[in-house]
Structure 1
Amino acid sequence: MELPLIPALPLTVTDQMGRRVAVPFPPQRIVSLVPSQTELLFDLGLGEKVVGVTKFCIHPAEARSKTAVIGGTKNFDFEKIAALQPDLIIGNKEENYQAGIEQLAADFPVWLSDISNLPEALDMIRRVGFIAGAKERGEALAAQIDASFAELATPHSAAIPVAYFIWKKPYMVAATGTFIDDMLRRAGFRNALAGLSRYPEITAEQLAAAAPQRIFLSSEPYPFGEKHLAEFQAICPAAKVEIVDGELFSWYGSRLRHSAAYFSQLR
């Protein structure tokens, strides 16, 4: 005999933007608008509750094959999302776009993260675990990540100046105020372009003047590859130029479990 479905109870929570969001608890139909948070939901054992993801949600591999793809992070397919009848949508201030979020929030509970450093990422992991009905798993995951980063502590005087590139045409770097900047610092590096704000365009002359000892070419969002190394080596002949795993620097969900060990190898 089938048991009757127990209706979800309403729960009012505050997201990382300070917005009050009424969510059925526990939610049963979740749409994720951010790749790193999609992976987090699956790693928290909530994959069966995820009904929609973006085309950029590549982890885990089954995320896009077992759920509906609802467009990109900055161009939602509103009709497809409405057809999914989500009782919770999880997004992010920076990765999504305000107009789209406001349109969705008029009809569905939308919980937003706002992350620029590790403590905020750990807070997001704990909160998403709680909201989605996996509180203990969220707490355990956040504690595991926190402990791994604690082992990376290095004196600031030993920090190696580095330039971290996210785009090629035009040249763009991750600078002050970004999650990547916080990751660099925790990994024992010093952002050679920290005087600039967030994701500025820079010239080859600015890069040469900054004189970083290391140049990191991120694997995302621009797909830097081995063919680009010589171009940056010519600008800074004394620097070590290398391709780095952009996901381990910029994904602020469960992938952070692997970041500290990777940063240790980079050092």
Structure 2
Amino acid sequence: MRILIRTSRWAIWARRLGGVAVPLVVISVALHRLRLITSDLFVNAVTAAAVVALLAVVASVVALARIWQSGDHGWGKALLGLFFGLFCLAPFVWYGNLAAKYPPVTDIATTTRGLLPLVFEPGTAAMPPPRVLSKAQASALFPNAETRSYPLGQAQTFALVVQLIDDNGWDVRMVREPNAALDPALINAQIMTIPGWREEIVVRVTGDAASAKVDMRSASLNARHDFGANGLRIEQFLADLDTAVTSWLRDNPNLNLPETEAAEALPAPAPS
């Protein structure tokens, strides 16, 4: 007589739930990035996906325990459900860790925000009110997000800023070039995070032909928590700008010298 070995129902449900959680996450992110759903609907959708993924993990663990004891079939289904569930829960664990590390902030700036206006202005119906840190909090969390001063002219400093923004692949929305009156130069660009949150950066360059100051703002446009992204972005961008300016000055040592000193610094012409 042939003995039939049944497949664990827990394993079947683990595989089904895991198979539902993955497309829920992927489709929700895709629709949010394409702006086909609102941010509130996106949050609801990924929360539902997280619940389904958690159920898949629970069902997988129960299935594996019962299969071990009973000898039923379903190892593959249970393990696949466990993998899908953990795969979908990994981003929530990641962002949960960031939420524990950083307070719910959406707007970081190195100077007065009024000097760094967004293209997408705060206060409109589509943008939540900005959440900001005190100066002491910002200094503690993001100590390198500070105004930069360079012994390099405004125009060339602004050119390096534009190049860095282009290298980062950010979507430039507005540019105010340096001019003869030495008015502040501004550039606004937008960034989209992997889940589809939109963030805007503003860089302001002031100065003259021999020196420049750089300020930066980074703000979330449709989120209520940036998970530290804005402050970290400012720190990284300004660190990269420090490197770019240092390299430029190294390669052009006579750039800001007076004409007489620059002429003396040039190598003597070779005898004919």
Please, what TM-score do these two structures have when normalized by structure 1? 0.30
Bigger strand fraction: 1
From the CA coordinates, give the structure whose radius of gyration is larger.
2
Bigger helix fraction: 2
Please, what TM-score do these two structures have when normalized by structure 2? 0.30
- Greater RCO (Cα-Cα under 8 Å, separation 6 or more): 2
